[in-house]
Structure 1
Amino acid sequence: MTVHVVNHTHWDREWYRPMESFRARLAELVARVCDQLDAGELHRFHLDGQTVTALDALAVRPDLADRVRAHAAAGRLHVGPWHVLADNQLVSGENLIRNLLTARRVAADLGLGLADVGYCPDAFGHPADLPRVLRGFGLDTALVWRGAPPRRARFRWRAPDGSEVVAVNQGYYEPEVLWEAASAADRLATFRDKQTGRDADGPYLLLNGGDHLAPRPLPAGLADGAARESTLADYFAEIRDTVPADAVVTGELRHPGDWLTFVLAGTLSTRLYLKQANAATETLLESWAEPLTVRSGRGVESTGLLRHAWDLLLANAPHDSICGCSVDEVHRENEVRFARAQQVGEHLVERALLDLGLDTRPAGDPVTDAAALVVVNPHAAPVTGPVTVDLHTAPGHTVGGLVDAAGRPVPYDLLASEPVPLFCADLDILPDTKETVRHRIAFVADAPAGGWTGYTASVAPGDPAPPDAGRPGRTVTRGDWTLTVADDASFTLVDAATGRTLPGLGRLVDVGDAGDTYTYDPPRDDEAVSPVLRTATVHESAVASRIVVHADLDVPAGLTADRTARSAERVTLPLTVTATLWADVPELDWRVEFDNTADDHRLQAHFPTDAAAGSWTADTHFSLLDRPLKPALGPLPEQRGYEADAGVAPVRSLATLPGLAVLAPGLPEVQGIAGEPPSLAVTVLRAVGWLSRPDLRARTAGAGPQLATPEAQCRRRIRAAVGVRLTADEATVTAAAARRRAPLRAWQLRPGTTAPAATSGLRVDGAQVSAYKPAEDGAGAVLRLVNPTSVEVVATVAGVPGDLVECDLAERPVDGQVAADAIVLGPFATRSFRVGG
């Protein structure tokens, strides 16, 4: 059987070294590859699956550009199809689509062709919707590894919507086979024997390379027909039609691995602050900056900035970055990139609103009589939900009332008031600082689909009334719901309408973690700790009913010296837990906040249901996915080179059990735990101090260098927020999850401005909007609809300019004009359209 030898490198842009240190070596590697290709020592080379490798190398070695282009044009140098090799579970579906779109743009700019294989060599598991994304770009093959069924070398991988690719399960790291010429023949024979055990039919694929390694030429005498230099495309062309039609694997690839094939599930919660920042930045760009840019017609003025923001965000998507499993220097840079992307995104939102007649810049004399507010709705459906806004008045003035655009009084809560100097400057505004009083108010707003509505706050002389101090108490009632806090700071929710009682909501459980950035590992002598309530204060108004709880979590300070137990020394973590029932919103808003001063521990919030269950459901990129309930941790491996089933799984923002939905955007690690009752456990903190360790029980081999990562202990302010609904109806909870990801936002308009009338925009009934963005080619916009549920829906679209022309994910028209009043989306389907081009 022929062995297709694909010379390659796997280039982690940042990992055990910071990015610039790796880039310096990357430039050396690209120069060496060009020399070897020039000399004929190599005939073909795959510069990893990401165009960012070429971009990074040429940024510091522009003298190599012509040589790289020449080798690419001759078919000797291959790159892509991605811009970065993302952890494709922790980023959104739109993030993956932007990744592939960016690769096409970068490749065109650099004069490179793209590999036409869905190359995903080292992601820590693969999401169920990845075949859909690949097929949307014309890619019908995928190379996968971690999480793939270990006994299947080749299979047809099917997404929930029916999209299918031919998948090959192959480890990318095989440099040792041909590394030494003297032993290459014997090692190649061993490799062939191993592959025969997995795939008797052949041919075989040998990925001749590894992490950050320069290639070595194929040893003389091996290219005799048994082994030949090849490409991924040539290999897939030979095997594509040999995979039986019934060799189908459906859904996500998170199967327990074979020897040294770890899924590394602990990366879902390592440095959770990165995951929260990523979710916030994705939401800012996808739900706010892009749709408002389309609505305002800014087009070319914003295209470069949008691409720049996405470039910054994509740079944090690789698995060693977003997963939090690099050295501390890397993740400091990640936080800066997130901050920069958010700065660009907020500027785009401000400018789009300005073009739409909504000037949110605080220039001019502070208000003394009335303040205009605007509430903007990013969803293509009307929304009723809470908003919080800072309202600035002149000193000595306060808020006296609030009315909506029709002049109707609106209840509001004053949360805080304080003197604040307010600075403003812009291209058309001279720099100036005004003394103001900032009043933070909260209210429940009603906003039209895809648009905005105005509110007016009356302002009068006087001192602000002190915010509601509340009263001691442990129970509130709002409508049919009664909420009571227990001694362990968890909550019992009673629904009078259904007679249901759910105790233990938000029960916090802290356990030890002797693991590393890749793997949760309970110490042999563990101790589970829950908070003890100190005080509870009740706040009730027409806007919300709220219980604010102060509790103490008394935990071991870390681990014993031998890491087998939690330490005798203890620290107290003072917690603030807030549970809110907003008016007209059938959802419990649960939040926890504290300063983490302990090491080597994991904190989860548990949300039990009151019904029997054998499985739980979570949202992935575009679909809902069922998973079995499991123990908190599977059996510990006894052989070297294996890992235990961690039980946790990735979610985008939604997990359900019968009669219960937990909405947790930015908190992607959830466990569905079997028990009486079954529960969902959301991880809110995992603190560890090592990149990788070789002495774990849950993973019996190292997963990377043994380097200290003290900042992965997350000694910082920890904040987590979860919404709870007493239903698991698919349409209801997926819409609620979208609103929780991107809640209404409110701004004070420039002093002297009148509050705007209610103005609608894009409206979609029957489906959700995944994207409404400027088209990559600058001609109009792209609208993407998604049906995340298991039943067919018919959607209608209003508020868009011109006709809808169906396109694929690469934004190429496919089927012509579509009627906007009857768009059929099958179960879990997505459909994309060009608009206004």
Structure 2
Amino acid sequence: MQKTAHIISHSHWDREWYLPFEQHRFYFIKLMNDLIEQFKKEGNAFQSFHLDGQTVLLEDYFAVHPENREIIKQLIEEKKLQIGPWYVLQDAFLTSSEANIRNLQIGLNDTKAYGQAAKIGYFPDTFGIYGQAPQILKQAGIDTAAFGRGVKPTGFNNTVSDTPNFESPYSEMIWKSPDGSGVLGILFANWYSNGNEIPVDEEEAKVFWDKKLQDAEKYSSTNQLLFMNGCDHQPLQKAIPAALETASVLYPDYTFKHSSFNEYTEVLKESQPDNLQVIEGELRNQRTDGWSTLVNTASSRIYLKQWNNHCQTLLEKVAEPLASLNLLAGGSYPREYIRFMWKSLMKNHPHDSICGCSVDEVHREMVTRFETVAQMGDVFVKEQAAELARRIDTSEIPEGGIPIVVINTTGWEKNDVITEAVDLDKVYFSKMHFEEIPDYLHERETPGYKLVDDQGRTMVYQLDEPKIEFGYDLPDDKFRQPYFAKRAQLSFFAEEIPAFGYKTFYLMPAESSVKQVDPAQMITETSIFDMENEFVYVQFHEDGSFDLLQKDTGKCFRNLGIYEDTGDVGNEYMFKEAKGQAAITSKGAAAEFHYLEKSPLRTVLEYTHTLEIPASADDRLEVERNQLIWHKERTAGRSKEMKSITLRTVVTLAKGMKGPAFKLTIDNQATDHRLRVLFPTGLKTDNHKADSIFEIVTRPNTPEQEWENPSFCHHQQRFSSVADEHMGLTVATDGLQEYEILKEDGTIAVTVLRATAELGDWGYFPTPEAQCLGIQTAEWQVLMHEKDVVQSQAYIDAYQYKVPLVVVQPGIHKGSWPTTHQFIKTEANKLAWSSLKVAEDCKDVMVRWFNPAKEAVSLTASIEDYQSYKSTILEERTGLEKEHYEAGKYEIITLGFYKKG
């Protein structure tokens, strides 16, 4: 049978990696200019070039050569230059569910300006892929995926290392999501460089093709052979037409075609056999020796993951929903600005960027980008909240009263203790000379207050001693307005804030002065340090470990929260424990305790450890780095010199919290080590659950038989959880994305710091800033529940961790909306809410959930004067307009709402 060799010219373009962004862009501009000249020179002899699946590269090029936009547009329209479908080639596990969707939405939206996209789920170098990718791709109208990692074992420098039991015998397979959605999966079995630098000379070409054809045929299930003509930052091979002409002469039984993914996959699907292997769920290289999964990028430069989690939460859980509520209230939706914020954030999402596995210059620039996104998001939320509050009728309030609007942008009702600065009095510079205002405000008597809810019920609250502080307004119709305000921190329990809605509270002048309880005066000396609320009781031991008791069941987990430090002689990609020394832990090491606050609203306790640990790895590590000894083969240990590291832990348990929340501050003065916090559950179970992309995935506690690496770490998004049939423990985190389940006692081990100093790929690239010296932080919450995290719906609390209520102090004015309102009413029990936004190309309101279980679940959602319909992730109607919907097993379900009439 005649075989066809499809040669796809490409260059896998990491925007930043072993060089910083601008230096990589310098070479990318050369590549693009060469491409333009090549297409002009060769005409149809040079058929096409695959632009690495990411449209951001066009922005990078046009920033320097805007005059070539029409030339590039013509090449794309002629299908010579293949673009999309992504905006960036993201890391799949370290970016959120919604970030993965926005990446696809924005990438495909960008391609509309050029007329066509490469319709392939392109994951050439992604460090493992989440199990719901086939469902996401199918909803986007893409039925084929190509990937380089996750199935067939790969080793150092991406060399293939077959084992007898790898998942698929072919480079083609059917890849299915948990819901049953399937796509044709194409593995780059011989990597995405198996057709790189094809010789033109006949003698060289004979040697090249004899091996390359054999290697491709070894894994191919059809007569269509794929050869990727390129590699990382590969310059253009201009001699491809001549090289393929040579190959055609040498191998007349083969057809050599300069091809594209669209052409290749079309004929591949026609010729594929019926008995392809079916691969289900996550692609994480589990059937390997475990030394090349790159999973420990989840703990490289944890500060980047924390920044990313903050910015993603700000955009997808606060900014987009708040703007959507504003639209429903009668405002406009600033779609382009939201898209601009997402694009700015996603420039930090490529795998070598968010994974923290690049040179130091890259990650310094990333922090600046994160700061920029946070600045944009903060001002956006502030203005959107103020605009919504201006539409609320706050006029029915006695003189001197202060309205406070609390907005819930999530899909679940929220109960939370909030602390917010409130202006009790204010004088603008336009009303009085600014030098006189502070004394005037200081001398004005501050009345007593009471706090009431929208039903007039008096509430418990705290109001700190007010301070005189400067502030300013930026009105829409006049110059900035500076003022001094008498400002105080107000704390209270905001209860039953409706999902997708708001509730108004009032700080009212009291008839007589009401003295608030000072939380500091409630603190007494004690030998027992504990805390409790209506749900849990927590008692701390001398070494900082604690017992957690669930009050309604009486069940308890004991000795949680020990810190563990080990040596790390690996690199930014992979952890390798140093030889010769056992882990150093805080077990039995006395901590210093004291209360920071005790009040009816919350208890805050601080405790501090000082651990003595080796200052660094021993001298052997530097020798091994310079000799490019692969991490697996390293024998370096830890130094004899010791350093002190200070661990300051602040734990908070407030009214309404289902479990205590922790903030650890680390004064890291040592290098080449890893710090984890341990939660021994004592539960006997073979598997556990973790939050992933649109999935609460079940993973085994122990690896497959091929696994040799002593470490068995995993990725997580928001949480990991261990449970038996009776009870469970879940650890929700804020940007801590690496964990391990220790098989001895079902311990959840969460990495809070990893310090290393080497990039770790194809050469020696020192990265001293990856040691994360100085002050580092980590935050998490511990949740106890009955049964597992899905059955108990404890995932709701885990997803709500670190998603704030939005608080705004509006003026007193008339408005068209009542003091409490829910814009979107839902009955979505047992579904996990994911997003609320407005469609990319119209004013339809889009709400997304996913079903975390295998049982179908009913869904009802309504907006007054709107009609609902079922949609894909690309906001395309499926044709179903109902009042009630059903979310199938593990389904990602999106409902759209359009205004009637």
SS of aligned partner of 1:771: strand
Shift of the 534–756 alpha-carbon distance from structure 1 to 2, 3 Å rule, reads farther
1:422 deviates by 3.0
- Matching of residue 316 in structure 1 with residue 348 in structure 2: yes
SS of aligned partner of 2:310: helix
> Which residue in the other structure is 2:849 paired with?
785
Choose from 16, 21, 24 the match for 2:23: 21
Aligned equivalents of 1:415, 1:61: Cα separation in 2: 57
1:121 deviates by 0.3
Normalised TM-score (structure 2): 0.84
> Which structure has the greater CA radius of gyration?
2
> Which residue in the other structure is 1:468 paired with?
520
Amino acid in the other structure paired with 2:506: T
- Matching of residue 232 in structure 1 with residue 261 in structure 2: yes
> Which residue in the other structure is 2:790 paired with?
730
- Matching of residue 162 in structure 1 with residue 168 in structure 2: no
Choose 31-40 or 776-785, whichever is displaced more: 776-785
Instruction: Say if 1:149 and 1:253, in contact at 8 Å, map to a contact too.
Output: no
1:253 deviates by 0.3
1:660 deviates by 1.4
Shift of the 631–138 alpha-carbon distance from structure 1 to 2, 3 Å rule, reads closer
Shift of the 93–475 alpha-carbon distance from structure 1 to 2, 3 Å rule, reads closer
Choose from 149, 169, 172 the match for 2:192: 172
Sequence identity (%): 27
Amino acid in the other structure paired with 2:50: H
Q: How does 1:385-534 map to 2 (within 5 A)?
A: 385-393=416-424, 396=442, 397=446, 401-413=450-462, 420-428=469-477, 430-434=480-484, 436-439=486-489, 441=491, 443-457=493-507, 467-468=519-520, 470-471=523-524, 472=526, 473-479=528-534, 481-531=536-586, 532-534=589-591
Aligned equivalents of 1:398, 1:706: Cα separation in 2: 67
1:430 deviates by 2.4
Shift of the 100–562 alpha-carbon distance from structure 1 to 2, 3 Å rule, reads same
- Matching of residue 92 in structure 1 with residue 96 in structure 2: yes
Q: Deviations over 1:636-659 (max 9, x none)?
A: 5xxxxxxx3741111111221112
Shift of the 330–816 alpha-carbon distance from structure 1 to 2, 3 Å rule, reads same
- Matching of residue 672 in structure 1 with residue 741 in structure 2: yes
Aligned equivalents of 1:507, 1:440: Cα separation in 2: 34
Aligned equivalents of 1:108, 1:459: Cα separation in 2: 58
Aligned equivalents of 1:735, 1:212: Cα separation in 2: 43
SS of aligned partner of 1:99: helix
- Matching of residue 803 in structure 1 with residue 862 in structure 2: no
Shift of the 525–180 alpha-carbon distance from structure 1 to 2, 3 Å rule, reads farther
Amino acid in the other structure paired with 1:289: A
SS of aligned partner of 2:34: helix
Q: How does 1:621-632 map to 2 (within 5 A)?
A: 621-630=693-702
Choose from 617, 620, 633 the match for 1:562: 620
- Matching of residue 609 in structure 1 with residue 638 in structure 2: no
Instruction: Say if 1:157 and 1:250, in contact at 8 Å, map to a contact too.
Output: yes
Aligned equivalents of 1:813, 1:168: Cα separation in 2: 29
> Which residue in the other structure is 2:149 paired with?
146
How many residues get paired? Answer: 810
> Which residue in the other structure is 1:572 paired with?
644
1:495 deviates by 3.4
> Which residue in the other structure is 2:653 paired with?
581
> Which residue in the other structure is 1:254 paired with?
284
Instruction: Say if 1:379 and 1:449, in contact at 8 Å, map to a contact too.
Output: yes
Shift of the 301–612 alpha-carbon distance from structure 1 to 2, 3 Å rule, reads closer
Choose 210-219 or 115-124, whichever is displaced more: 210-219
Aligned equivalents of 2:703, 2:650: Cα separation in 1: 29
Q: Deviations over 1:61-113 (max 9, x none)?
A: 1232232222222222111111111111111121111111111222233x252
Instruction: Say if 2:292 and 2:574, in contact at 8 Å, map to a contact too.
Output: no
Aligned equivalents of 1:554, 1:748: Cα separation in 2: 48
Shift of the 244–740 alpha-carbon distance from structure 1 to 2, 3 Å rule, reads farther
> Which residue in the other structure is 1:192 paired with?
213
Choose 83-92 or 654-663, whichever is displaced more: 654-663
Choose 608-617 or 732-741, whichever is displaced more: 732-741
Amino acid in the other structure paired with 2:355: C
Choose from 715, 727, 737 the match for 2:773: 715
1:605 deviates by 1.3
SS of aligned partner of 1:511: strand
Shift of the 823–424 alpha-carbon distance from structure 1 to 2, 3 Å rule, reads same
> Which residue in the other structure is 1:700 paired with?
none
Shift of the 492–722 alpha-carbon distance from structure 1 to 2, 3 Å rule, reads same
> Which residue in the other structure is 2:672 paired with?
600
Amino acid in the other structure paired with 2:556: T
> Which residue in the other structure is 2:897 paired with?
835
SS of aligned partner of 1:815: coil
Instruction: Say if 2:325 and 2:500, in contact at 8 Å, map to a contact too.
Output: no
Q: Deviations over 1:586-642 (max 9, x none)?
A: 222233223323222211111222321111111212122111113899965xxxxxx
Choose 589-598 or 808-817, whichever is displaced more: 589-598
Q: Deviations over 1:770-825 (max 9, x none)?
A: 22211111232222232222322111113354111222112122223122xx2111
Aligned equivalents of 2:672, 2:706: Cα separation in 1: 20
> Which residue in the other structure is 2:805 paired with?
744
SS of aligned partner of 1:347: helix
Instruction: Say if 2:533 and 2:656, in contact at 8 Å, map to a contact too.
Output: no
Instruction: Say if 1:554 and 1:570, in contact at 8 Å, map to a contact too.
Output: yes
Aligned equivalents of 1:68, 1:184: Cα separation in 2: 32
Aligned equivalents of 1:554, 1:491: Cα separation in 2: 22
Amino acid in the other structure paired with 1:487: E
Instruction: Say if 2:679 and 2:748, in contact at 8 Å, map to a contact too.
Output: yes
Choose from 368, 380, 383 the match for 1:351: 383
SS of aligned partner of 2:90: coil
Q: Deviations over 1:238-279 (max 9, x none)?
A: 222515356211111002477999321111111111111112
Q: Deviations over 1:34-67 (max 9, x none)?
A: 2112222622211111111122112211232232
> Which residue in the other structure is 1:772 paired with?
836
Choose from 532, 537, 543 the match for 2:601: 543
Instruction: Say if 2:536 and 2:659, in contact at 8 Å, map to a contact too.
Output: no
Shift of the 565–355 alpha-carbon distance from structure 1 to 2, 3 Å rule, reads same
RMSD, aligned α-carbons: 3.0
Aligned equivalents of 1:326, 1:399: Cα separation in 2: 57
Aligned equivalents of 1:525, 1:421: Cα separation in 2: 58
1:483 deviates by 1.5
Amino acid in the other structure paired with 1:190: K
Shift of the 489–559 alpha-carbon distance from structure 1 to 2, 3 Å rule, reads same
Shift of the 507–179 alpha-carbon distance from structure 1 to 2, 3 Å rule, reads farther
Shift of the 180–510 alpha-carbon distance from structure 1 to 2, 3 Å rule, reads farther
Instruction: Say if 2:449 and 2:514, in contact at 8 Å, map to a contact too.
Output: no
Shift of the 477–634 alpha-carbon distance from structure 1 to 2, 3 Å rule, reads farther
Amino acid in the other structure paired with 1:666: G
Q: Deviations over 1:671-697 (max 9, x none)?
A: 12211x2011111111211112xxxxx
Aligned equivalents of 1:708, 1:516: Cα separation in 2: 10
Q: Deviations over 1:143-176 (max 9, x none)?
A: 0121124442221111112111100110212354
Aligned equivalents of 2:262, 2:107: Cα separation in 1: 18
Aligned equivalents of 2:483, 2:196: Cα separation in 1: 65
Amino acid in the other structure paired with 1:684: V
Choose 228-237 or 153-162, whichever is displaced more: 228-237
Shift of the 498–690 alpha-carbon distance from structure 1 to 2, 3 Å rule, reads same
Aligned equivalents of 1:459, 1:632: Cα separation in 2: 67
Normalised TM-score (structure 1): 0.90
